[in-house]
Amino acid sequence: MNRKTEPASPKEILITGFGGQGIVLAGQIVGKAASLLDKKESTLTQSYGPEARGGACSAQVIISDRTIHYPYVRRPDILVCMSQGGYDRFADTLKGDGTLIIDQDLVQPAAARGSGFFAIPATRIAEELGRRMMANIVILGFFTSVTEAVTADAMRRTVSESVPRGTGEANIGAFNKGYEFGLATLKGRQKKAEGKKGVR
Amino acid sequence: MNDLKIVLFICNWGPHAAFQMLQDSCRHMPHQVRMIRIPCSGRMSRALLFKAFETGADGVALVGCEPGSCRYGSGTGIAERNVQDTRGILELLGLGKDRLRLATFLPEQSEALLEFLQQFHADVERMGKSPVIPVPKTQPGESGRDLAARILTSHDIYACQDCGKCSSACPMSLCGKPFSPRAMAGSIIGGNIGSASVVSDVWSCLTCGICYDRCPSAVDFPRFIRDMRQVHRRAGTAGQEAHEGFFQALMRTMTSPDLDIRHWDWLPEDIQVDGQSKTLFFGGCAPYFDTFFGRTLGVKTCDILIDSLRLLNFFDIFPALLPGERCCGHDLLWTGDRDSFIRLARLNVDAIEERGIEEVVTSCPECYRTLAIDYPEHGIPISFKVTHIFDLAEKEIDKGAIGFEKLNRTLTFQDPCRLARLGGPGELPRKLISRLKPRGFEEMRDRGNSALCCGNCAWTGCDSYTKALQVKRLRQARETGSNLLVTACPKCQIHLRCAMEDPFLGDEIRMEMMDLTSIVARTIRWE
Ligand code: SF4
Ligand code: SF4
Ligand code: SF4
């Protein structure tokens, strides 16, 4: 394929939650997967102010095909919220056609959302898998399938390299669970768009 | 080459007079027609009609009296219904319904009778020989005593500590039958294989597995009974088959390799299947059950197959089907006909593997157990994976984005023995039920491992005691206050529905039933 394609404009990603949820680790995984394995440019900045202990924190990732000159996210294309506080604070910054991803048990979105809105009970799923701490990895799996901002392979490899030794398999399981959930959500939407709700 | 076998069952009263007239006047009748005189056409049950085909008939004519001239009043009407049901079965088997005909004549209609016989002979000649190869009688081979000794050791019946837990839990003992698994085992160990009480006990056991579940020495009664039935079958003391052995005869007939079975002809058009798929849906005998019981019990077990397929389609799985699917052989194995079981198993496994199938999905607990466990255990290895549809559905639903519509019913659940205790995914039905959105779910007093049997297994030993057991079970279901009895096996539906027909108890034990697969399929939704 020799067709010259316009390089995709940079994707700005903001992941928010509270301290202890592994928000920054999630940001690191996305950034590493995009740069080291998907061979794109990426940056990561993180913020956790005085509220670091259990308070709001966020990780800002930019992924681009070209050099990134400014590493801060002002208007995210993708906003991932794992806490109500993070949602309240950043929801308005999301671009009009941006993608909002929430943990549905932790965040109550203000109004009904359209096609860019995705919800998953990530923490509940992680609990069912035996470790509440893996909620960030579950939501990363979900993020990967619904946004396709990074490839699943790159994410899986980065996840297993980034999590504590001995937890690799469990975390890959968590990632896959979230990933499958995302695929199922997309499939469900497509089915509904085709007018198929149930078996007939 | 004309070695056709045509059986003429002719009623003693009206038409036999006509037949005699033909004989007396030396009229030429097709010599392939063999006449059997019967007391009334209405006495020819479906099992008797079918057995003629099982044993090699190419055509069967049932000739009775004209409606209204039946000596017993209702004979002709009963004959009509029996013939209609049996023709349905012949059609499913691919033998063709026209091999069985019903006709009625008055005593003086000898010419018309002759014409009928000539015409029927010509029709059968056109259809040709029946592809059914009668199953030879099992050769005695090993002596019953040796075989029994081997069975006793291989199932380690000697490990019995005589504790009596089995007899105190056995539903047959509990509903008053003079029956005790422990006593039976004791008699057989003592060398008393052929006594009337042992024979009767061996054929009465439901092979439900509660005793096995309770036994501290893990004495495996269901398998032991299963193999003991082989001993008794060889000795000619097989018995107590329900419906006069209709189903065993049907299944034995299916061991003929050249049958052109039409298992799926009735499938609704909206169901998507794919002949190239590596996943196969194995339906089980529901089409035969519905043909046999549809009129009397009104059961629609084919709905379970339709709903299973719709559910697979919902998950974007478009499975292959075996057009000539045969019975899995469960009931033959569990009534001691191991040879026919193995023939069926071979035919099924060959047909499945010929298509390069990697996974077989089924919604019938008996098919599941038989394919997954009993085929390999009887020396027929399988190269494919066997999945119960509950397992598949649970995995798909667990991926997410799937929910259920509200169901305004209160449910209770009848565990099928082959899932709850004998090799199936026992916990899965409840997992699925917990995902549904019914108004409520109430467990019965005896449930899960301790669930009571629906009252029959492998079409043997149906009697007033098993009926009492069924009534007990249905009372438990009603006690929960639920209004929908959820089942997971087509036979639970049949046997329990049959019990509900009791004219004296009637409404007291009647309850609507629906298979769990159907409930899942009918309420599942994309979220
Ligand atoms: S429960 Fe087991 S050990 Fe006890 S009497 Fe029955 S078969 Fe024997
Ligand atoms: S399998 Fe069931 S019916 Fe048979 S002896 Fe055991 S408990 Fe009784
Ligand atoms: S319970 Fe009814 S359907 Fe079942 S074997 Fe007995 S008579 Fe037949």
- Can you give the length of chain A in residues? 200
Q: Token match 């950034």: residue? A: A31
Shared fold status for B254-388 and B395-526: yes
Q: Which tokens in the block code for residue B141?
A: 């081979």
Ligand nearest to the CA of B221: 2
* Ligand 2-lining residues (CB < 6 angstroms): B 170-172, 181, 205-211, 221-222
Ligand nearest to the CA of B417: 2
Residue A76 belongs to some domain of the structure? yes
Residue of B nearest to A188 (CA): B526
* Record: contact B307-A199, CB cut-off 8 A: yes
Q: Is the pLDDT of residue B150 over 90?
A: no
Q: Is the pTM of this model over 0.80?
A: yes
pLDDT at A10: 83
pLDDT at A2: 41
User: Average pLDDT of B440-454?
Assistant: 92
Q: Which tokens in the block code for residue A21?
A: 């949820």
Q: Is the pLDDT of residue A178 over 80?
A: yes
Return the CATH fold of B254-388: Rossmann fold (3.40.50)
Task: Give the separation between CA A157 and CA A131, rounded to whole angstroms.
Answer: 20
pLDDT digits (tens, 9 = 90+) for B357-370: 999 999 999 999 99
Tell me which residue of B460, B471, B473, B467 sits closest to B204, measured CA to CA.
B460
Question: From atom 7 of ligand 2, which residue's Cα is the shortest distance away?
Answer: B170
Q: Which atom of ligand 3 is nearest to the CA of B467?
A: 1
pLDDT digits (tens, 9 = 90+) for B362-415: 999 999 999 999 999 999 999 999 999 999 999 999 988 899 999 999 999 999
Q: Is the pLDDT of residue A128 over 60?
A: yes
Q: What is the DSSP letter of A92?
A: G
pLDDT digits (tens, 9 = 90+) for B137-149: 766 666 777 888 8
Burial class for B390, CB neighbours closer than 10 Å (0-12, 13-18, 19+): buried
Model confidence at B104, in pLDDT bands (50, 70, 90)?
very high
pLDDT digits (tens, 9 = 90+) for B274-319: 999 999 999 999 999 999 999 999 999 999 999 999 999 999 999 9
Residue A3 belongs to some domain of the structure? no
Q: Is the pLDDT of residue A7 over 60?
A: no
What does CATH list as the number for B6-127?
3.40.50
pLDDT at A1: 37
Q: Is the pLDDT of residue B67 over 90?
A: no
Q: Which tokens in the block code for residue A155?
A: 């994410």
User: Average pLDDT of B496-525?
Assistant: 94
pLDDT at A4: 41
Residue A66 belongs to some domain of the structure? yes
What is Dmax (Cα atoms) for chain B?
Answer: 80
Radius of gyration in angstroms for the set of CA atoms belonging to chain A, rounded to a whole number: 16
Ligand nearest to the CA of B225: 2
Q: Is the pLDDT of residue A156 over 80?
A: yes
Q: Using CB atoms, which residue from B311, B401, B405 is nearest to A181?
A: B401
Torsion of CA B385, B388, B392, B394, to 10 degrees: -140
List CB contacts (< 8 A) between A175 and chain B. Answer: none
User: In this structure, is the dihedral angle defined by the CA atoms of residues A96, A101, A107 and A112, taken in order, positive or negative?
Assistant: positive
Q: Is the pLDDT of residue A5 over 50?
A: no
Tell me which residue of B11, B5, B12, B20 sits closest to B63, measured CA to CA.
B11
**How far, CA to CA in Å, does A99 sit from each of A62, A93, B347?**
15, 12, 55
User: Average pLDDT of B155-161?
Assistant: 87
**pLDDT: which is higher, B342 or B238:** B342
pLDDT digits (tens, 9 = 90+) for B181-190: 888 888 888 8
List CB contacts (< 8 A) between A191 and chain B. Answer: 526
Q: Which tokens in the block code for residue B333?
A: 């194995």
Read off the CATH number of the domain in which A55 is found.
3.40.920.10
- Range scoring the smallest mean pLDDT among A28-42, B75-89, B182-196, B471-485: B182-196
Q: How far is the CA of B495 from the centre of ligand 3 (A)?
A: 5
pLDDT at A3: 40
Q: How far is the CA of B222 from the centre of ligand 1 (A)?
A: 13
pLDDT digits (tens, 9 = 90+) for A185-194: 999 998 888 8
Contacts of residue B143, Cβ cutoff 8 Å, sequence gap at least 6: none
pLDDT at B1: 44
**A121 lies in which domain range?**
11-199
Total domain count for chain A? 1
pLDDT at A49: 61
Percentage with pLDDT > 90 across chain B: 78
**How far, CA to CA in Å, does B139 sit from each of B121, B136, B144?**
35, 8, 12
Q: Is the pLDDT of residue A160 over 70?
A: yes
Tell me which residue of A136, A134, A147 sits closest to A76, measured CA to CA.
A147
Task: Give the separation between CA B462 and CA B38, rounded to whole angstroms.
Answer: 27
User: Average pLDDT of B330-353?
Assistant: 95
Task: Give rounded-to-5 percent helix, strand, coil for chain B.
Answer: 50, 10, 40
Helices marked H in A14-163 — which ranges?
Answer: 23-32, 84-90, 122-128, 135-147, 152-162
Domain ranges of chain B: 6-127, 144-234, 254-388, 395-526
Residue A135 belongs to some domain of the structure? yes
Class of the domain covering B395-526 = alpha beta
> 3-state DSSP call for residue A78?
strand
**How far, CA to CA in Å, does B127 sit from each of B67, B100, B103, B206, B385?**
29, 12, 19, 41, 39
Q: How far is the CA of B429 from the centre of ligand 1 (A)?
A: 29
List CB contacts (< 8 A) between B307 and chain A. Answer: 199
> For helices B181-189 and B144-154, what crossing angle results, to 10°?
120
Kindly state whether B314 is in contact with chain A, defined as any CB-CB distance less than 8 angstroms: yes
pLDDT at A174: 96
pLDDT digits (tens, 9 = 90+) for B69-79: 898 989 999 99
**Tell me, what's the ipTM?**
0.74
Q: Token match 């035919």: residue? A: B347
* Record: contact A184-B307, CB cut-off 8 A: no
Task: Give the separation between CA A73 and CA A53, rounded to whole angstroms.
Answer: 23
Residue A179 belongs to some domain of the structure? yes
Burial class for A114, CB neighbours closer than 10 Å (0-12, 13-18, 19+): exposed
Residue of A nearest to B314 (CA): A199
Residue of A nearest to B403 (CA): A198
CB of A127 closer than 8 Å to CB of A121? no
Q: How far is the CA of B211 from the centre of ligand 2 (A)?
A: 6
* Record: contact A180-B399, CB cut-off 8 A: yes
Interface of A with B (CB under 8 A): 120, 180-181, 183-185, 187-189, 191-192, 196-200
What mean pLDDT value characterizes chain B? 93
Burial class for B378, CB neighbours closer than 10 Å (0-12, 13-18, 19+): middle
Q: Which of B335, B462, B496, B509 to mutate to test the pocket of ligand 3 (most atoms within 8 A of CB)?
A: B462
